[in-house]
Amino acid sequence: MNVDILTLISALWVKGFCSSGICKIQVDQPVTAVFRLHLRVHITMSGSPAVVMRLVASAYNVAEKAGSIVRKVLHSGELGIVEKTGANDLQTLADRLAQQSICASLSRRFPKITIIGEEELPAEEIKDDLIENGHSEEILQKTCPAEYIGLKEEELVVWVDPLDGTKEYTEASRCLRHQTDAQILHKGLDTSQVQSTALWLLDNVTVLIGIAYRGRAIAGVINQPFYNYQLGGGEDLGRTMWGILGLGAFGFQLQEVPGDKRIVTTTRSHSNKLVTDCVDAMEPHEVIRVGGAGNKIIQLVEGKASAYVFASPGCKKWDTCAPEAILHAVGGKLTDMHGNAYRYNADVKHMNSAGVLATLRNHEYYISRVPKSVLQALKSE
């Protein structure tokens, strides 16, 4: 293929040129100016997609595998619940198996990446049926943003929450078990309300895989294992959404809360006076209390809420890395209560100690409404 000098200059500017091997340059259409990089100049080494694209493509299938594990454990009825620090900090067999699956699958394919998972698990041999070797061809067909083309495995940090919304997951399991017991004892008893509650709780559950580069969340994958339950039998359960900064986000329909309506989503199980005071200070027209950081960001990008407000140090990096990347990819913002960005380097502390404030639009308005008492209580990192 003939490549003109302007194309080469553009490629050099994006890539810093290839340090070894032969660069294959593909051009969708003629380049007429050095700085017209939006014409999608693709640069690959020996035709292979960029590392970050391969990692996201793999994480997509891995997240779907983890979602199927979460469903399977729930259907078994044997959750294997362990209290970590208390009744509101639980771990289940699904958490353990899903994390093993995610970490083992990604580390086998990308041995130089750093993976940080929520669960502290003993080192043990991972069963073959937990390994996912597939990837999304659709993602590999996308154009890698220019600034990420040359990233190396060892430069990437992956933050994993194998089951975000564990409390809601265990509550849903209890509801379903009680429904079954009631039906056995009282044939013909209407237990639809119990089932409805259980399924609503399962909406809160997500699998989160976030990817960071130089401390910044640049890509994320979110799987909702129980999405589609409203459609009844015969429909495939679950969905997976993903996003990369500079490329966009996929797997959902982006929507905004209509007009100037302020709908705040916040915690349903980790509230306190500081959280309540901060939510009230936003002067919301409506407050939605749900579980899971991933679920709350989904509410923002699907137009069910305009701000996620959590003035407490309860959230951690594996809760926010993937959701933040997807939110940022569609123009939203996630910060602490001071308006400062969180860092996702491998050596940072795991706790988001200054709370979380996330919005799709009008972030500065919500930051301006944070009470001084909250800012004094939650020190920025």
Q: Is 320 a catalytic residue?
A: no
Interatomic CA distance for residues 361 and 278, integer angstroms = 18
- DSSP secondary structure letters along 94-105: HHHHHHHHHHHH
276 is catalytic: no
What mean pLDDT value characterizes the chain? 84
Measure the CA–CA gap between 160 and 63, rounded to whole angstroms: 10
- Do 221 and 269 touch, CB atoms closer than 8 A? no
- Work out the burial of residue 353: count CB atoms within 10 Å of its CB; fewer than 13 is exposed, 13-18 middle, 19 or more buried: middle
| Amino acid letter for position 221 | V
d(CA 305, CA 136): 30
Question: Given this model, what pLDDT does residue 332 score?
Answer: 98
pLDDT band at 10 (very low <50, low <70, confident <90, very high): very low
Compare 28 and 352 and report the one with higher pLDDT: 352
If one compares 58 and 35, the residue with the highest pLDDT of the two is 58
Q: Find how far residue 7's CA is from the centre of its chain.
A: 36
pLDDT score at 178: 57
Pick from 143-152, 194-203, 313-322: least confident: 194-203
Query: To which H or E segment does residue 76 belong?
Result: helix 51-76
- Reported confidence tier of residue 198, pLDDT bands at 50, 70, 90: confident
Mean pLDDT for 365-381 is 94
**Cα 363 from Cα 112, distance rounded (Å):** 36
The two counts, helices (H) then strands (E), for the chain are 11, 15
Query: What are the C-alpha distances in Å from 132 to residues 62, 208, 211, 251?
Result: 6, 16, 18, 20
245 phi and psi angles, rounded to 5 deg:
-55, 135
* Region label for 174, one of left (φ > 0), alpha (ψ between -120 and 50) or beta (otherwise): alpha
Tell me the pLDDT band of 81, cut-offs 50, 70 and 90. confident
Q: Which residue has the higher pLDDT, 247 or 234?
A: 247
**For residues 204-232, average pLDDT:** 91
Q: What is the pLDDT of residue 358?
A: 98
CA distance 160 to 208: 6
Mean pLDDT, residues 23-30:
40
Q: What is the mean pLDDT of residues 197-220?
A: 94
Asked if residue 378 belongs to a known ligand binding site, the reply is no
Predicted confidence (pLDDT) at residue 289 exceeds the cutoff of 70:
yes
Residues 153-192 pLDDT 10s: 999 999 999 999 988 998 888 888 755 544 434 444 444 6
* Residue, of 9 and 197, whose pLDDT is higher: 197
- Does residue 280 have a pLDDT over 50? yes
Q: Are 145 and 247 in contact (CB under 8 A)?
A: yes
Going from the C-alpha of 380 to that of each of 10, 312, 322, the distances in angstroms are 40, 12, 21
161 marked among binding-site residues: yes
3-state secondary structure 300-356: HHECCCCEEEECCCCCEHHHHHHHHHHHHHCCCEEECCCCCCCCCCCCCCCECCCCE
| pLDDT band at 268; cut points 50, 70, 90 | confident
Q: Is 277 annotated as a binding residue?
A: no
The predicted structure's pLDDT at residue 345: 97
Q: Are 131 and 105 in contact (CB under 8 A)?
A: yes
Q: Which pLDDT band, with edges at 50, 70 and 90, does 379 fall under?
A: confident
* pLDDT (average), residues 300-307: 98
User: Per the residue annotation, which of 7, 92, 166, 266 is the catalytic one?
Assistant: 166
User: What was the pLDDT predicted at 230?
Assistant: 59
Q: Which of 95, 206, 267, 335 is catalytic?
A: 95
Q: Give the pLDDT score at 231.
A: 54
In angstroms, rounded to a whole number, what is the distance separating the alpha carbons of residues 40 and 143?
7
Whether the CB-CB separation of 113 and 158 falls below 8 Å is answered with yes
> Is 280 assigned to a binding site?
no
Q: Give the full edge-to-edge strand order of the sheet including 239-244.
A: 114-117, 156-164, 206-213, 216-224, 239-244, 248-250
Higher model confidence: residue 114 or residue 228?
114
β-pair type (263-267, 206-213) = unpaired
Burial (CB count <10 Å: 0-12, 13-18, 19+), residue 184: exposed
Residue 24 has pLDDT above 50, yes or no: no
Residue ranges and CATH numbers for the domains of the chain are 51-184+194-248 (3.30.540.10), 263-377 (3.40.190.80)
Is the pLDDT confidence value at 8 over 70? no
pLDDT score for 19: 33
Per-residue confidence at 225, pLDDT binned at 50, 70, 90? very high
**Half-sphere exposure in the Cβ direction for 327 (13 Å, CA):** 29
- Residue 339 region, left (φ>0) first, then alpha (ψ -120 to 50), else beta? left
When comparing pLDDT for 200 and 297, which is higher? Answer: 297
The answer to whether 313 touches 280, Cβ cutoff 8 Å, is no
**Residue 232 pLDDT:** 53
Q: Is 347 annotated as a binding residue?
A: no
